[in-house]
Every structure is written in C-alpha cells, then in structure tokens.
Amino acid sequence: MRPLLVVGAGPVGLAVAIAARLRGIACIVIDRREPPCDKACGEGLLPHGLKELAELGVKPPIAHPFVGIRYIDGERTAAASFPEPALGVRRIVLSETLLRRAKEVGCDVRFGVSATELRDQRDHVVLTTSDGEIEGRLLVGADGLHSKVRELAGIEVRPGPFPRYGARRHYAIRPWSDHVDVHWHDTCEAYVTPVASNCVGVAIISHGKLVSFDEALERFPALTARLAHAEIVSPLRGAGPFHQRVESRHLGHVALVGDAAGYVDALTGEGLSIGFACARALVDVVARDQPLAVYEQHYRRLTRGYYRTTRLMLALARRPALRRQAIKVLSRTPRVFAALLAMHAGYPMTRSTLLGRKSSSSISRLVGTS
C-alpha cells in the first residue's frame, strides 16, 4: 500500500502523521522549512485541543496554564474561566514535541522539501517536490493559510471581505495574569498569553495591514507600561490576510486540513484545537477506507461552532460601540460569559460545566515543567 503524503510539518500536518502511524498507516511528511518551525500564533491551546494532543501521546514539556479569557476594553474588564484549564505553549516547543513524537511512532519527516506539482492518477497521486517525485495513496494539504496543495489541486478559494493580519513577539517577564488577556482597541486587539513561568507572548491582530508592531502596541498604554522593561526574546513573525473561504475540503486524491482547509480569523484562538480534531477525523476516514465526502461532513460538524463564533466576534470587533456594550454585559454576567466560553470549547451545558472550576491537580497533569 502506498503511504499517506502530507505536505506541511506544522502542528496539524504532524498531528495527521502521528494519528496515521497510530492506526498503522505509513506516512511521509514534507516541509519546505527546516526545524524549529516557528510561526505567528497566539499560542493558546484550549482544553479540547489538549485532549486531542493527549490522544496522540503528546505533552509539551514547557508550557504555562491559563484558566480562561479576560477582555480589557479601556477601564472595563470581563473575565471567565473554561471548565478545565488551557495551556500556553510556544510554537517552537509545540513543533519540537510533535516532531519528536512523529519520529517515535515511525513517521518519515523530510525538511527542506517543497511541493511543486501534483498529478492525480486513477488510484493514487504523484507529488513533484524539490527532492523528486513521491507517490501516495492520498495527498494531505496541511500547508497553511495560503496552501500550495490547494492551488495545485484546483480547489477554489476566495478571500474574505475584511482582510485582517497578525503579528507576534515574546517578552521575558513573569506572567501577571492567569487568563489570556485580550486588550481591545478600535483598530486592533492585543492577545497576551503566558507560555512559560518567565515568558509571555503578545499577538496583535489588526483590521487591515499592521503598520508597525511597536506603534500598534502603544495603542494599549497599560500593556506597553507592563512590557516597558521586559526583554524581547523572539523575532517578530507575521501572518495574513486571515479569511480564506475554501470551496471544498477534498478533490480527487487530495484532502485539506488545518488552516489550508479554510480560515476565518485568529480572534477565538482555536485554530490548533480544531485542526487537531479534523486531523483525527481525516485519519479515521482513511483508516476505514471511506470516501473523502465523509471527511467533508466531519469537517463541517467539527468547525460549525468555530465559523459561527468567529463571525460573531468579528462583527463585534468591527463595531466599537456594540463591542463596548457586549463587554459591559459580559462583565456584569460572568456566568453567561463562562457558559459561552464552555460552549465555544465544545462542552455540554451541564450545571458543573457552568460552575466547575479546575483543580490544581488537573493543571499539573497538563504541564510538564514550566
């Protein structure tokens, strides 16, 4: 049997590869870059994403727990917790941990190799790469927002109407909040995620192109003051435009997963969690030898909430008066906010979901060293 070919050794591509090997499927992964694979990301892993990683046997050794989300809009704040803890994990740590696990389970991962052409045959696919041709039973495009595989396969994509861009940087400072803090401004948002006991990541997402990270940061005086004396410990990374409306998740012997499969925006911080869930669904379809149309159905089910919530949040982000009003309401109704967060993270609406708080033991189970 020919192997599964995966283009993209990002978190989702590696999740596909590990899940495939755990089901006994041979797998080759290529990536045009060399490790460690860094990328602009808010680096928050939501509880459902952590469960997906645990299923793959992946536990990041350096991470920092956070309990929920706190919105900060001028003087007003609204905070709520997830039913279970979440984790901030630096992208390079996540990538290295996934890569180690992928090699442990026998994945063939090839770096410095780009996908350039593909030929879809009757019962397999031939991928031309910068390192020659490879044949596979199925080609998985896990190659990010501006997927080359999607283009080569001829799957239609249309940009969204309101282009948004993101950039990220890390600061050496002890995290001061046990939430991911989201600072709102009419032109952009700043997301502060604790990723280690001595480091926070700051991601800024803007309406339209970000002119300069420092200039955007100054729109948040309290945050700027906090970071004033903290050393910058990572290069600036950017991404965008985010919104990519993808016609279909499959065509012939090609399937798309992760950001390549379609993306709206990063403001709900769940791209990774959804990508991991879809990776598992895709591998399940391959292992059962089902048609890829079944994967499309899984994709739609797994991402329905993401598309709905993200569109709603984007509508608020673009309407400052409405956003301020919404944050005012959430600040007065923390249980409603917690219920919305729980729903967003895929929890059923039970009494314990609404009232439940995480225990320190469940936090320590998630974190290796911090």
- Binding track over 34-73 against ligand FAD, x by CB under 6 A: ---x-xxxxxx-----------------------------
DSSP 32-57: SS-SS-------EE-HHHHHHHHHTT
Considering only the stretches 25-33, 79-87, 224-232, 281-289, report the one whose residues sit in contact with ligand FAD under the rule CB under 6 A: 25-33
Nearer to ligand FAD, 157 or 354 (CB): 157
Residue 177 has, within 13 A of its CA and on its CB side, a CA count of 24
**What is the C-alpha to C-alpha distance for residues 283 and 228, in angstroms, rounded to an integer?**
46
Q: Parallel, antiparallel, or unpaired for β 188-196 and 179-184?
A: antiparallel
Residue 201: CB minimum distance to ligand FAD, A = 8
Residue 259: CB minimum distance to ligand FAD, A = 4
**What is the C-alpha to C-alpha distance for residues 119 and 123, in angstroms, rounded to an integer?**
11
**What is the C-alpha to C-alpha distance for residues 38 and 18, in angstroms, rounded to an integer?**
20
Residue 351 identity (one-letter amino acid): R
Residue 297 identity (one-letter amino acid): Q
Considering only the stretches 11-19, 104-112, 226-234, 336-344, report the one whose residues sit in contact with ligand FAD under the rule CB under 6 A: 11-19
With binding defined as CB under 6 A, does residue 143 bind ligand FAD? Answer: yes
Question: For residues 202-221, which are near ligand FAD according to CB under 6 A?
Answer: 203, 205
Number of chain residues interacting with ligand FAD (CB under 6 A): 38
Q: Which of 182, 259, 281, 283 binds ligand FAD (CB under 6 A)?
A: 259
Nearer to ligand FAD, 145 or 327 (CB): 145
Residue 51 identity (one-letter amino acid): K
**What is the C-alpha to C-alpha distance for residues 14 and 32, in angstroms, rounded to an integer?**
14
Binding footprint of ligand FAD on the chain (CB under 6 A): 7-13, 30-33, 37, 39-44, 114-115, 142-144, 148, 166, 168, 203, 205, 239, 258-259, 266, 269-273, 275
